[in-house]
Amino acid sequence: MEIEEIKKIYGEVGSGYATDVKTIRFLEKWVREKGGLPPFARASWKTCKRFLNN
């Protein structure tokens, strides 16, 4: 899925890069509220693993 498609469906997610503050905040909030990663997230990213392990 392209980032523009993701933004249309999920709202502001930042650039999609693991170092982007908006992307990090989006992922952190998503995991906190839903208990897992969004379907388009790369579970192999250190950032994603960190949120899942907290």
Domain count, the chain: 1
Give me the helices (H) in the chain, please: 3-10, 21-34, 46-53
Q: Return the CATH number at 10.
A: 1.10.10.460
**Amino acid identity, residue 35?**
G
* Cβ contact 14:21 at 8 Å: yes
pTM of the shown model? 0.84
CA dihedral sign of residues 32, 33, 39, 41? negative
Sign of CA dihedral 18, 24, 30, 33: positive
pLDDT tens sequence for the chain (54 residues): 798 999 999 999 999 888 999 999 999 999 999 999 999 998 898 888 888 887
Which residues span the domain enclosing 39?
3-53
